[in-house]
């Protein structure tokens, strides 16, 4: 749920260059308390030290210091003769000197502003650290643009003003960056996704009231403002933007939530359809709650797949490391099902009216919060009587629209600078219209970038309704995928595999670096070539013949599995894949490439509802609906459509023991068992994926 920008502490997740490759992130404070992390062979080191590493940001923003925890051997290191390395050391020194000179001479966008630092009082007496940047030399009264963040407001301005907000800078606004409660320089206690306040108590607070009080102070204390304010942000900052419009200040005129989480149990950072997102959930919770600044959890294995496997059952996390000190982890353990805790935190419980114009922004390959903005748009669309609620979705990872040009993600080319286009022609024009009255206000209900075809599409509704038809792609014999249903009768037409929790399928190519660690490919994993698991015996696959015409899908995708297991619980992971032709002469590395267009997981115990899990009856054939969210994509002529089904996706998804236990966080080692799973493909039990096909663009399926 990390916000995106040009640096980690300005709200950014791992920096992504135009090709989507991750660049090392950093935080400003990093410390770890407690006894040494050495237990059960998981750690071979004891004392902890903080080692500073330098990283250079994309878009020309100079590198900054990123403290990271380095594990040092408990024994004294042997003395080393450094003489053979003198030339290397000299080279490093010269490179560092050059980098320093570059940092000193580069243009700082903050120089064009007058900066004010303030501790703004809230209604309960707590004060929040805030930086205000007013353009120099302007007589025009300007609106405020707010960005509230848990990721260090003090470092936010430079990167944001240089790239993410540059087109807004050119238009002219007063920019406000603020640490939320309990983070960095602000007073108070941090609470992950703070619940709504008691409105009967005038001194009670939440993120909405803190935004209200901040705007009230700004209007009274910052000169030359025009009495209007807008707010935007990515990820957690996007969620804070949503909170700002629940009970908005009258001056709040426009909101752009971007990659907000909407439901942490059903589809965002911590769970997907009830399945716990282990590596992300552990590392992020520790990062946010081990101190008031960002703190990296020390994993001594570069390939975290091995470390998480050696970790064993989830109960070992608190037993060996956290010891009850990480509140969000405690919440995972206490709330393994979809109870009131998760429901009251979710946006479905909070979004009941459209109070201000709002633009939702989503990325098709957002590795953290893709579900959120789509759900937020859906919830508010039910109440939108004024056309204030709009959606933008593009070919981005988490926050990819906020940085770089967006002409590609990983190996996938889009033929257009999608991110730069969004910032200049969508985001800047949106705020100019609502905060300054400029422009025509001609914003479509939904603006999406259609991948494969690589074109922007304007929609009158989302998902689109005109010229659409839901078409089923059926699993057939011999690994065939077809729009023609199977005709086999009985129960003997199935494909099967053995899922072994001791040998889980990796969710991306190994080594699996720490989520926000050096060299991590976390930001682009969803566009990786899926051939790395295609031939595994515990991954089933079906694919079409090469397409004779384009097939375009636009809207909601879902899989329906008729399946059985010898266990009493199972995870069902389904991936929809675009398979490139065997030879792509213009870009040979894409030959045969398997691009995951959509993919997600359903924890079997929740097949009948997320509130009350039920064990699965061994060998019984049951139906499992796996939502694959949404996309706007063209499978090109000559490509194939493929589907993968598997039951582990490790360590992004924790291992299902496959023997039912009421709370997986309390599972024991002996609860983890191998199980044989079957996927049925008969006339009456026809497993399939439903695609929202644009009929006028897809003659092959008419």
Rounded mean pLDDT, 634-649: 98
Residue 313 lies in a domain: no
Bridge partners, residue 257, by sequence: 233, 360
The string of pLDDT tens digits covering residues 568-581 is 999 999 999 999 99
Q: Which domain holds residue 637?
A: 468-701
Residue 566 lies in a domain: yes
Query: What pLDDT score was predicted for residue 39?
Result: 36
Long-range contacts (CB closer than 8 Å, 24 or more residues apart) made by 334-337: 336/662, 336/663, 336/664, 336/665, 337/274, 337/606, 337/610, 337/611, 337/612, 337/613
- pLDDT for 384 beyond 90: yes
- pLDDT for 63 beyond 50: no
- Coil vs helix vs strand at 61: coil
- Coil vs helix vs strand at 550: coil
Bridge partners, residue 178, by sequence: 130, 148
Lowest mean pLDDT segment, chosen from 46-55, 145-154, 270-279, 583-592: 46-55
End-to-end CA distance of the chain: 41
Q: Who's near 631: CB < 8 A, 6+ residues apart?
A: 364, 451, 553, 554, 557, 597, 598
Rounded to whole angstroms, the Cα distance separating 79 from 267 reads 52
Residues 196 and 147 in one domain: yes
How far, CA to CA in Å, does 14 sit from each of 473, 519, 520, 521, 622? 36, 9, 8, 9, 41
Query: What pLDDT score was predicted for residue 702?
Result: 59
Size (the chain), residues: 702
Burial bucket for residue 74 (CB in 10 Å: 0-12, 13-18, 19+): exposed
**Taking a C-beta distance cutoff of 8 angstroms, is the pair 135, 112 a contact?**
yes
**Taking a C-beta distance cutoff of 8 angstroms, is the pair 543, 477 a contact?**
no
Rounded to whole angstroms, the Cα distance separating 227 from 209 reads 18
- Coil vs helix vs strand at 450: strand
Query: What pLDDT score was predicted for residue 490?
Result: 87
Rounded to whole angstroms, the Cα distance separating 17 from 329 reads 32
Query: What pLDDT score was predicted for residue 1?
Result: 74
Query: What pLDDT score was predicted for residue 41?
Result: 36
Q: Could you tell me the pLDDT band of residue 373, with boundaries at 50, 70 and 90? A: very high
Rounded mean pLDDT, 329-347: 98
The string of pLDDT tens digits covering residues 214-257 is 999 999 999 999 999 999 999 999 999 999 999 999 999 999 99
Query: What pLDDT score was predicted for residue 84?
Result: 38
Rounded to whole angstroms, the Cα distance separating 133 from 178 reads 12
Residues 445 and 559 in one domain: no
Cis amide leading into 63 (omega within 30): no
Q: What percent of the chain has pLDDT over 70?
A: 85
Residues 422 and 559 in one domain: no
Residue 246 lies in a domain: yes
User: How many domains is the chain built from?
Assistant: 2
- pLDDT for 396 beyond 50: yes
**Taking a C-beta distance cutoff of 8 angstroms, is the pair 538, 497 a contact?**
yes
Residues 436 and 494 in one domain: no
- pLDDT for 359 beyond 80: yes
Domain final position from 459, 492, 508 = 459
Residues 518 and 581 in one domain: yes
Residues 132 and 246 in one domain: yes
Phi, psi values for residue 14, rounded to 5°: -55, 130
Rounded to whole angstroms, the Cα distance separating 206 from 239 reads 13
Domain final position from 459, 478, 509 = 459
**Taking a C-beta distance cutoff of 8 angstroms, is the pair 401, 423 a contact?**
yes
Rounded to whole angstroms, the Cα distance separating 218 from 227 reads 9
Query: What pLDDT score was predicted for residue 700?
Result: 65
Residues 201 and 123 in one domain: yes
Residue 515 lies in a domain: yes
Q: Could you tell me the pLDDT band of residue 701, with boundaries at 50, 70 and 90? A: confident
Q: Who's near 480: CB < 8 A, 6+ residues apart?
A: 542, 543, 544, 545
Residues 431 and 474 in one domain: no
Residues 609 and 680 in one domain: yes
Separation of CA 351 from chain center: 21
The string of pLDDT tens digits covering residues 177-189 is 999 999 999 999 9
The string of pLDDT tens digits covering residues 223-232 is 999 999 999 9
Task: Catalogue the E-assigned strands of 48-193.
Answer: 48-55, 64-71, 113-121, 127-135, 142-149, 174-179
Query: What pLDDT score was predicted for residue 2?
Result: 67
Rounded to whole angstroms, the Cα distance separating 297 from 71 reads 11
Rounded to whole angstroms, the Cα distance separating 236 from 403 reads 17
Rounded to whole angstroms, the Cα distance separating 113 from 138 reads 10
Q: Could you tell me the pLDDT band of residue 647, with boundaries at 50, 70 and 90? A: very high
CATH number at residue 223: 3.40.50.1820
Query: What pLDDT score was predicted for residue 28?
Result: 34
Q: What is the greatest pairwise CA distance in the chain?
A: 80
Count the Cβ atoms, other than its own, within 10 Å of residue 65: 12
CATH number at residue 579: 2.60.120.260
Domain final position from 410, 441, 459 = 459
Rounded mean pLDDT, 623-636: 98
Rounded mean pLDDT, 155-176: 96
What average pLDDT does the structure give for the chain? 88
DSSP 40: T
The string of pLDDT tens digits covering residues 294-309 is 999 999 999 999 999 9
Residue 685 lies in a domain: yes
Residue 623 lies in a domain: yes
The string of pLDDT tens digits covering residues 421-435 is 999 999 999 999 999
Rounded to whole angstroms, the Cα distance separating 567 from 605 reads 11
Higher-pLDDT residue of 646, 64:
646
Q: Could you tell me the pLDDT band of residue 30, with boundaries at 50, 70 and 90? A: very low
Q: Who's near 92: CB < 8 A, 6+ residues apart?
A: none
Rounded mean pLDDT, 675-700: 92
Residue 574 lies in a domain: yes
Residues 520 and 453 in one domain: no
For the stretch 541-564, what's the b/e string if a residue is b when 16 or more beta carbons lie within 10 angstroms of its beta carbon? bbbbeebeebbbbbbbbbbbbbbb
Cis amide leading into 511 (omega within 30): yes
Residues 438 and 366 in one domain: yes
Q: Could you tell me the pLDDT band of residue 68, with boundaries at 50, 70 and 90? A: very low
Residues 477 and 429 in one domain: no
Angle at 62 between CA 56 and CA 68, to 5 degrees: 50
Lowest mean pLDDT segment, chosen from 326-330, 639-643, 692-696: 692-696
Count the Cβ atoms, other than its own, within 10 Å of residue 344: 12
- pLDDT for 412 beyond 60: yes
The string of pLDDT tens digits covering residues 432-464 is 999 999 999 999 999 999 999 999 999 999 999
Residue 424 lies in a domain: yes
């Amino acid at each position: 749920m990390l916000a995106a920008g040009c640096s980690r502490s300005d709200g950014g997740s791992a920096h992504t260059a135009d090709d989507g490759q991750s660049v090392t992130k950093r935080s400003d404070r990093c410390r770890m308390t407690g006894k040494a992390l050495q237990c059960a062979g998981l750690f071979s080191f004891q004392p902890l030290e903080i080692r500073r590493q330098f990283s250079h940001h994309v878009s020309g923003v100079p590198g900054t210091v990123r403290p990271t925890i380095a594990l040092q051997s408990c024994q004294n290191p042997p003395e080393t003769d450094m003489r053979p390395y003198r030339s290397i050391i000299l080279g490093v020194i010269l490179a560092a000197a050059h980098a320093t000179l570059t940092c000193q001479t580069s243009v700082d966008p903050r120089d064009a502003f007058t900066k004010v630092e303030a501790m703004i009082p809230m209604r309960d007496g707590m004060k929040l650290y805030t930086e205000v940047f007013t353009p120099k030399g302007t007589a025009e009264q300007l609106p405020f643009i707010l960005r509230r963040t848990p990721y260090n407001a003090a470092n936010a301005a430079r990167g944001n003003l240089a790239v993410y907000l540059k087109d807004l800078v050119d238009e002219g606004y007063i920019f406000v960056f603020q640490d939320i409660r309990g983070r960095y320089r602000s007073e108070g206690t941090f609470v992950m996704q703070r619940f709504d306040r008691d409105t009967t108590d005038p001194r009670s607070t939440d993120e909405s009231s803190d935004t209200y009080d901040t705007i009230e102070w700004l209007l009274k204390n910052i000169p030359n403002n025009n009495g209007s304010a807008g707010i935007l942000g990515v990820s957690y900052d996007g969620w804070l933007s949503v909170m700002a419009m629940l009970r908005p200040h009258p001056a709040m005129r426009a909101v752009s939530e971007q990659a907000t989480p909407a439901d942490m149990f059903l589809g965002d950072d911590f769970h997907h359809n009830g399945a716990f997102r282990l590596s992300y959930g552990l590392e992020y919770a520790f990062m946010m709650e081990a101190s008031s600044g960002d703190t990296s959890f020390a994993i001594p294995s570069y390939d975290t797949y091995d470390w998480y496997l050696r970790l064993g059952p989830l109960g070992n996390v608190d037993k060996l490391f956290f010891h009850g000190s990480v509140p969000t982890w405690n919440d995972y353990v206490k709330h393994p099902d979809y109870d009131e805790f998760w429901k009251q935190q979710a946006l479905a419980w909070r979004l009941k009216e459209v109070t201000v114009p709002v633009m939702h922004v989503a990325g098709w390959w957002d590795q953290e919060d893709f579900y959120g903005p789509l759900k937020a748009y859906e919830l508010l669309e039910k109440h939108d009587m004024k056309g204030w609620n709009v959606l933008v979705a593009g070919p981005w990872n988490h926050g990819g629209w906020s940085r770089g040009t967006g002409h590609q993600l990983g190996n996938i080319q889009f033929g257009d600078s999608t991110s730069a286009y969004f910032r200049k022609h969508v985001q800047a024009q949106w705020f100019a219209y609502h905060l300054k009255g400029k422009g025509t206000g001609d914003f479509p209900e939904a603006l999406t970038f259609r991948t494969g075809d690589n074109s922007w599409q304007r929609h009158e509704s989302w998902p689109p309704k005109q010229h659409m038809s839901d078409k089923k792609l059926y699993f057939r014999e011999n690994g065939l995928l077809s729009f023609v249903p199977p005709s086999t009768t009985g129960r003997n037409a199935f494909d099967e595999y053995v899922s072994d929790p001791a040998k889980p399928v990796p969710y991306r190519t190994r080594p699996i670096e720490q989520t926000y660690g050096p060299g991590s490919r976390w930001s682009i994993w969803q566009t990786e070539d899926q051939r790395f698991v295609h031939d595994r015996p515990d991954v089933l696959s079906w694919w079409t013949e090469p397409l004779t015409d384009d097939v375009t899908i636009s809207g909601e995708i879902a899989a329906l599995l008729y399946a059985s297991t010898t266990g009493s619980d199972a995870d069902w992971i389904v991936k929809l894949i675009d398979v490139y032709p065997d030879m792509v002469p213009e870009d040979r590395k894409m030959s045969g490439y398997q691009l995951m267009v959509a993919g997600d997981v359903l924890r079997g115990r929740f097949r009948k509802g997320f509130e009350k899990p039920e064990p699965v009856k061994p060998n019984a054939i049951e139906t499992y609906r796996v939502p694959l969210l949404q996309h706007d994509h063209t499978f090109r002529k000559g490509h194939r459509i493929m589907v993968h089904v598997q039951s582990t996706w490790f360590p992004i998804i924790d291992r299902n023991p496959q023997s039912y236990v009421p709370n997986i966080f309390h599972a024991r080692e002996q609860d983890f068992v191998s199980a044989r799973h079957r996927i049925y493909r008969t006339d009456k039990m026809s497993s399939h994926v439903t695609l929202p096909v644009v009929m006028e663009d897809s003659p092959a399926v008419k």
